[in-house]
Chains A and B, each alone.
Chain A
């Protein structure tokens, strides 16, 4: 249900934000990986394949900036 798999999200978090944040955000992501998450996400963060756009960068800088740059 997420555009990037939990393992990819975790890998990127470790790369971008180090071990501590990596462990915490990866564990948090596992609990967030539930079908109901799709209904709780605004449509602008859902791609054409109905997957949620969720990047580690969203947690530490404005998601709006991220969307504009991509």
Chain B
């Protein structure tokens, strides 16, 4: 009798353990599904809190660090993201993907030398297909950021992609390269001389047509007023004195502004192109690691 009771008790204990394990694993499954839902809906702030509260939804520490880094990356908390990424050890299967992110972060920050170090590290470790394709894309992006046309050509024509989307992204990057080729360096001296000849012409030369036209109108109206003052009252006419002074000020400032606007415009175009390059290389990271 006692033996029968003991067997029942043992069976009951076994059943409850199995049941608890089942409930626990189901909960864990639904927890990670909820986390994936937050990522899908781009609710990164909530996802960040969710990771903090439920770190056990990830099976390994590496996975926890990688996911935390991804969420921080999307929240633009770059320093925190880098710390988490650097906690993923080289032995982890997520190490190479993590390096994709580190390379991208350094590219966004314009630290191309640091980005290259992580690209070099990838070659020694070897990588899964997607990461390898992303590294190829990032290598092309880095060559463009450095304005190294020879390296870019070598990279572009030698690139082999396993993934079709990444191949297309690489072609989009090439459109940025074509845009880059169209950018012509403008001469500061020419801009200054043109503005001295006709106010506003230097700005039009720099590529700012509306601003050039506005400067021309400004100077033209002041010159007309000064001329009228001179015509009616001569050189001692107060209207002539005031407007000729104003005209001189705007005339000189326009020459100065035209000279500076050439380098500002060059800077703006370079920044725009760099931005396009880094956007192109960062899109796949969001696409492939975002869910």
Partners in one complex: yes
- Where the two chains meet, the residues of A that have a C-beta atom closer than 8 Å to any C-beta of B are 23-28, 30-37, 39-45, 58-59, 62-64, 67-68
Q: What's the minimum C-beta distance from B194 to chain A, rounded to whole angstroms?
A: 15
Q: Given that A58-B264, A59-B264 are known contacts, is A35 also in contact with B210, CB under 8 Å in the complex?
A: yes
25 A-B contact pairs sorted by A residue (CB < 8 Å):
A24-B253, A24-B257, A25-B260, A27-B250, A28-B257, A31-B219, A31-B250, A31-B253, A31-B257, A32-B214, A34-B210, A34-B213, A36-B209, A37-B208, A37-B211, A39-B210, A42-B268, A42-B269, A44-B271, A45-B268, A45-B272, A58-B264, A59-B263, A64-B274, A68-B110
Q: How far is the CA of A61 from the CA of B200 in the complex (A)?
A: 23
Interface members, chain B 197-218 (any A CB < 8 Å) = 200, 207-211, 213-215, 218
Residues of B within 8 A of A45 (CB): 268, 271-272
Chain B: interface size category: 20 to 34
Residues of B within 8 A of A37 (CB): 208, 210-211
Residues of B within 8 A of A43 (CB): 272
Q: How far is the CA of A24 from the CA of B207 in the complex (A)?
A: 21
**B214 near A36: Cβ-Cβ < 8 Å:** yes
**A40 near B267: Cβ-Cβ < 8 Å:** no
B254 within 8 A of A: yes
Q: Given that A24-B256, A64-B110, A64-B267 are known contacts, is A31 also in contact with B272, CB under 8 Å in the complex?
A: no
**B211 near A68: Cβ-Cβ < 8 Å:** no
Residue of B253, B267, B270, B275 touching A27 (CB-CB under 8 A): B253
Q: How far is the CA of A58 from the CA of B211 in the complex (A)?
A: 17
- What 6 A-B pairs are tightest by C-beta distance, nearest first? A36-B210, A28-B257, A27-B253, A42-B272, A34-B214, A31-B215
Q: How far is the CA of A34 from the CA of B274 in the complex (A)?
A: 27
Residues of A within 8 A of B270 (CB): 64
